[in-house]
Amino acid sequence: MRKILIVGAGQSGLQLALGLQRHGYDVTVMSARTADEIEHGTIMSTQFQFDSTLKFERDLGIHFWDGQAPRTPFTRFMVGAEGPTPVVDWTSPLKKPGADVDQRLKMSRWLRLFVENGGNLIINSATVADLDTAASAYDLVIVAAGKGGLAEVFGRDASRSPFTTPQRMLSVVYVNGYQPDPADPGDHTVEFHMLPGRGEMIVMPALTVSGPCHILFFEAIPGGPLDVFGDVRSPQQHLERFVDLLELHVPWAREQYSKLELTDAGGTLHGGFAPVVRHPVATLPSGGRVLGMGDVVVANDPITGQGANMAAKFAAVYLDAILEHGDRPFDGAFMERAFETFWTLHGRATTEWTNIMLQPPPPHMLELLGAASRFTAIANRYTEAFDDPNDFLEWFTDPDKAAAYLAEVVGAAAGSDH
């Protein structure tokens, strides 16, 4: 039986561990925290997932929250200027709704399940020395612990990493009391408020440790008017400052956020990081190699809501690669190949699109987003592409492709009028 060590107990690490367990592998997980510590700790993410990555969990029998997590059948997109109402405002259905499950709930449940299934659990904040020791004791070591210093053993891939500083500062609150907009077609709508020159504000219905809630977060351009959370000293102060910013910058949603309360004392998060792609294989002092997975090696900004989706796709691709590899050695060539398969299928498009969204929107994108309020075909395609961002490269990110697509949509609409 092949022995595999996974360092990290997040979406990618535990999804892969549970998948390998189902296929009879001897799996060890090294986690910095116990299941109880995860469950009762502070929030870690905003973690919205689209249908295709929820399917990975359902296929493994580990998605336990259908019927509990709010279904999100609609996405609403707004662009705000200085006035009291958005200058762009449209809503589009998601053909297959996504879901947002607090990782405190999910990872604690998965970690307990892993142990119940006979998995080996080591509670330890792994160091490079730990990896060095482990590399010779296991057939394969995968590092999926994005927090802490382990990511630094994987060198930065400058050719895939255009940024060296944070492009947004994230501020998150998990709240109760967020009122649905009467204009929305349903109670559970994902909202994206683009605030040019300032950043973005995003709303996601979710399931947290205390039940259904809403996750609100600002993506602040560093140094701008939304980047004001650095000196916050308490969760309540964080919420109060958040509401003050909503009043100033999202006045059209005033009725929705007038009665917000934090879900729990751990329901706030603030910080930022430079988006980065790292080389997927690290060579340790002893000469042993380890493979990176998840945001250890591809850390995109949360602006496009792809973090948990990318982690799930990583785990699915690596699971397939390991199963297909059979009894052959997990050498450096295998590791590089597994990562490049992920990059080709999912990583490149998601990273390129996310990095574009961090820049001031070019004219062709603003034209498309504005046209989406008149042409449902554009709105629907934009919304659906969040589940498979490869499609954005076909019509949205490139000016020439965007112009051709818009002309096609306008022409089709004109033809249907006759």
Distance, in Å, from the CA atom of 100 to the CA atom of 155, rounded to the nearest integer, reads 32
pLDDT at 76: 94
- What 8-state DSSP symbol labels residue 101? B
pTM: 0.96
User: Residues of the chain with pLDDT > 90: what percent?
Assistant: 90
Distance, in Å, from the CA atom of 94 to the CA atom of 190, rounded to the nearest integer, reads 10
- What 8-state DSSP symbol labels residue 361? P
Residue range 142-196, pLDDT digits in tens: 999 977 778 999 999 999 999 999 999 999 999 999 998 877 776 689 999 999 9
- What 8-state DSSP symbol labels residue 357? H
Q: Determine the average pLDDT of the residues in 18-47.
A: 97
CB 199 within 8 A of CB 250: no
What's the longest Cα–Cα distance across the chain? 73
Residue with the larger pLDDT of the pair 18 and 94: 18
Distance, in Å, from the CA atom of 303 to the CA atom of 71, rounded to the nearest integer, reads 21
Rounded to the nearest 5°, which phi and psi values hold at 79? -120, 120
Q: Determine the average pLDDT of the residues in 25-48.
A: 97
CB 379 within 8 A of CB 414: no
CB 34 within 8 A of CB 171: no
Q: Determine the average pLDDT of the residues in 92-99.
A: 93
Give one DSSP letter per residue of 379-395, joined into a string: HHHHHHHTT-GGGHHHH
Q: Given a cut of 70, is residue 418 above it in pLDDT?
A: no
Residue range 254-268, pLDDT digits in tens: 889 989 999 999 999
Q: Given a cut of 80, is residue 327 above it in pLDDT?
A: yes
What lies within 8 Å, CB to CB, of 148 at 6+ separation is 32, 125, 126
Q: Determine the average pLDDT of the residues in 321-325.
A: 98
Distance, in Å, from the CA atom of 93 to the CA atom of 79, rounded to the nearest integer, reads 18
CB 346 within 8 A of CB 313: yes
Q: Determine the average pLDDT of the residues in 291-319.
A: 97
CB 36 within 8 A of CB 154: no
Task: Choose among 315, 286, 335: nearest CA to 131.
Answer: 286
179-to-186, 212, 247, 257, 344 alpha-carbon distances in Å: 11, 13, 15, 7, 41
Domains and CATH numbers, the chain: 3-63+102-161+275-357 (3.50.50.60), 72-100+165-271 (3.30.9.40), 363-416 (no CATH)
Residue range 123-146, pLDDT digits in tens: 999 999 999 999 999 999 999 997
Q: Given a cut of 80, is residue 233 above it in pLDDT?
A: yes
Task: State the chain's mean pLDDT as an integer.
Answer: 95
CB 154 within 8 A of CB 297: yes
Distance, in Å, from the CA atom of 61 to the CA atom of 64, rounded to the nearest integer, reads 8
CB atoms within 10 A of CB 116: 8
CB 227 within 8 A of CB 242: no
| Buried b / exposed e along 341-364 (16+ C-beta atoms within 10 A) | ebbeebbbbbbbbbbbbbeeeeeb
Residue range 5-22, pLDDT digits in tens: 999 999 999 999 999 999
